[in-house]
Structure 1
Amino acid sequence: MKDNWKEVHPKSIFQVTVPSPLSDQEQMILTLLYQPMIGAEAFSLYLTLLSEVEESGMSESLFHADLITMMNISIRQIQSARRKLEGIGLLTTYVQNDSELGPKFLYRLNHPEPAERFFKDEVLVLTLLNSVGQRKLDKLFNQFKPKFVNLTGFEDISSRFNDVYLFKEEQIISQNQQLSQIEQSFNDPRPSKKPSAVDKSFDWSYFIQGIERLGIKLPDNGDGFKEEVFIFHNLFGITELDMIDFCSKSFDYYTSKIDVKDFERAIYRAYDPDKKQKRSEFQKNEVAELSDEDQQTYRYNSLKMNGFSTQDIQMIMDSEKNFPLNYLEALKNGRGGYTTPQERSLVKYLVSKSGLPNSVINILINYVYNIQKQPTLKADYVNRIANEWAQSGIFSPEKAIEHVREIAKKGKEQKQTRQRYGQNNRPIRQETLPDWVDNPIEEKKLSPERQAELEKELRELLNEEGD
């Protein structure tokens, strides 16, 4: 009875069941993570069906005509919304044929995945990404990711269970039957289906035959690897033959099993190659043949004529003379800090993937570390800035400085506009700034004296690095 919306008519009877009530957290996940993927009608259908469930976990028998009235949509729209819920794993539909009443439907509502499992599921994350885009996905991820506290230096002095509560181990044997009944009552006899990326456009049997002819075996987690293959097929359009070729370069010679990590790296190298860095765009004297020192003087004077301060010019010229890792280490050392392995990896990633010149990456580092007062470079935040700068064509340090100042100016104007319109109860202008401007750490404006002092320290440190 699959794909048979014509078999469902207004007089068809249905009941709704849900194993247990939805928690507040699950309702938030349903609204923020699932609704963008399934759409408003499917979301409304889920909530409408949920509202009919009574304390017993089952609704009364209803007609589909009741759904049509409550939702004010057609039976075909209801069926379309139902299919979206089924496909994402939020609804399981069962049917029972009655000789007198015709088909009777049972709609079982399934709980949304917990946030942790949702973001570990490649199928769900990619589906959400395609629905909301990278910027919104980043915000949702930051909202739901766990906030672990750094416990370095702390000692766990918590009491153990047996230290506080009376527990007789022999009761496990004497009460075994009752304990088993309680445990089994929580086991779902028909668990909900996990969303899968598997589709008919990829010939899995042909792919298996191809790797077997090469003497290659599937990894231990065969089902997980199958999902991985279909995800990459859907993501990049990789054919069966190309997928076999990737496997031939990614197996363990001792076990003949595919190494999943090598397989992933091979695909990403092919479909997400390193991006060639743009040359830094700055004004040079192309007419006269000048020495490097004279070119530096010419550059200094050009920047001065364009309205840059002495401190700005020194920062720009320092950014052009140093590699990003050296630049970051000089900044960190100047504050008594150190560069973390994660920061090193992030800077290397920016150099290879962003396409930004080293000088622009250095200005980005300076902005995040000195102006935004971040103690470390955080990958999600830094990558958002780098992406926005690359898409805006910012390939010189002076453009980066001007861009940051222009955005800061717009932010100040929009803040004033919101305050002014808010007081007069008039419409508020929509925010149009890049999302990286909304930083969790409040920007603290430096005094000219302190700024000059920091720049002097940076120059001295960079000179020492050069020596």
Structure 2
Amino acid sequence: MRINQLMQFTEHHRYYIFRDFSLSSLDYKMLSLIYQPMIGAFAVSLYQQLYHGIEEGRSGYSELEPQRKLFLGLGLEMNEKSRRFIIEQTSKLEAVGLLQTSRLGVPEQADVIYEYELTAPLSPAEFFRNMHLAMLLRDKVGKYAVISLRESFGSNEPDELAQAQLTKENISVPFYELFKLNMQSFDSELEQALTEVAPSRQASNRSELASAGIPYGEIILRFPRNSANRSYVERLRNNPEGLAQVNYVAYKYSLSVVNVCRLLDEDGIFGHNGEIELDALQLRANQLYRQDKKRDGEQQRKLANTAVHNDEPEEQEEEEEFEVQEQDYLPVPNQLQGRCDVQQYNMLMRNEPHTRYLKRFFPGAIPDWIENVFERIDLNYRLATPVINVLIHYVLGANDAGRVTKTFIDAVASNMLMKGIDTFEKAVHYVREQAQLEQDKQKRKEAVTGAVGSGTYNGGRSGARAGGARNGISRKPSIPIVAEDQGASSVSADEMEELRKLARKLDGKS
């Protein structure tokens, strides 16, 4: 919980709780044996007190209460020390994913209301797949204790089955094979009634992927019943992660529900275990996207004489976006000046797929060779999407025609791969370093050019030989040369006589 001023968080402020789950015996065991060693017993007690703020067997919202109830329920006094202590405990719950805290402003009043949204503990399998949580637990209890805890949450299959080589066949009956629904008469009154009695706001989605918002029901309704992949698609009902991947690909390549069903029906989209092969799905989706783009281009050329152009509204992301810190801001290119400010531009660069971000630099269609280059960087080089967007900013946003070449773009992408740049922040740091190197190189070049032009470079010699060196810089050191024409020195008669005596002495004639 980020609180800048303690007077913004007191026992007089009101709060409410939201949860849409119920704890099972396995969840209580996870809280006691897994989460409590990481965050402490007091944080788990605070979690359970918030959980029981809503009646058992129900989900939704609690009543508005002053936070004095939380302080008294935890045995704390109404002072500054207790406020700091509760802020610390809620921060621990938020860090491990058990709580999300929000502050709501009331327009009619100057006061604020706090929202505590509880999240169910992860299952044992999900918890130990998150390595940052498993590493934190290891730091608290030790490696061997973590291994013992992992074994205590699972039951092994019988030895007879573990040692045998068995063939598994799914003989389950799907829903639409047993039940027939009348899809012609849709009950709108039932849908409206279910919406009215449900909580006014659903729980926030924890997925970090942008989504096209295609529900499972739309996919299964249009998917062929006799398809070999029908059983795999039906598993998406209980696989929110797989459904999120499908929606992200649909959002990235602007696919309709019909096109999504067509892709899921192709061979090689699902693996042997029923998991989605994301690379194969993206490759097929990209091919379909290119075909649609080509057809759209032909249609636009036919309608070139039409004066009316309807701009399609941009789809808004329903998922939570990644924030960009102010120190990581990159300037808005000249092509987008006036269309967005620096904060909006950096949020787009951080969160948009590169296919949509690239369109913003072109008033019409994207040149095919540019789209092919970034397609290869995405599918073959496997650069992260924010890194590709920073690369687009670096190449297209500088208004330098010398950069917009296949060789230059490929060289920069290869350099990013070699340096292990896989995050938005690292890409921003790389771009700033390259800009500084280019400025230093330009300053050195200007200094050398100025020295050559003034005639002081290379010992005052003619610029013909100096200009033949690479980049105007000679590899040989500058050695001063004795001038050929030197004036005769004036020597007196006495000095000349002394010199003659010295010469005779050296010759042995004196």
Query: Normalized against structure 2, the TM-score is what?
Result: 0.36
* Higher-Rg member (1/2): 2
Higher relative helix content: 1
Query: Normalized against structure 1, the TM-score is what?
Result: 0.39
